[in-house]
Homo-oligomer: A and B are copies of this chain.
Amino acid sequence: MPADETVIFDQPCPIRDVLDRIGDQWSLLVLEALSHGTLRYSDLMRGIGDISKQMLAKTLRRLEMDGFVTRKVFAEVPPRVEYSLSPLGRSFMQQVQGMIAWADANHRDIVLNRRAYEQG
């Protein structure tokens, strides 16, 4: 067992690259919201509740850039912009569903662990 496995994440590492985009506190939440259907910018603001305008815009731009989300602008007044999951995004969310189901099933244990830790 030579120690050549110390560097776990290689430079062009897909896991690292995708996780860096996903692991930013908001991306998964936005994708989850969109997985229920197309939403406008203000719908996402209201739905998520505690995201700032700036971060929502930034998160959406990145998700659009990576091809997870589709942005459709309507030339109306007041302006209307609709966001929805692309096929790639839907495909990704199928994977995430497993995680969400797991969270649902194990949330109780986690909360219990947290409480126990705080008291021990």
Identical chains in the assembly: 2
Are A2 and B104 in contact (CB-based, < 8 A)? no
Q: Does A109 contact B (CB under 8 A)?
A: yes
Task: Report the count of interface residues on A (CB-CB < 8 A).
Answer: 57
Name A's interface SS.
helix
Q: Which of B5, B26, B66 contacts A50 (CB 8 A)?
A: B5
Q: Does any Cβ of B come within 8 Å of A1's Cβ?
A: yes
State whether B103 touches A15 (Cβ < 8 A): yes
Which residues of B lie under 8 Å from residue A54 when comparing CB positions? none
Contacts of A100 in B (CB 8 A): 15
Binary CB contact string for chain A from 13 to 30 against chain B (1 if under 8 A, 0 otherwise): 011111110111111110
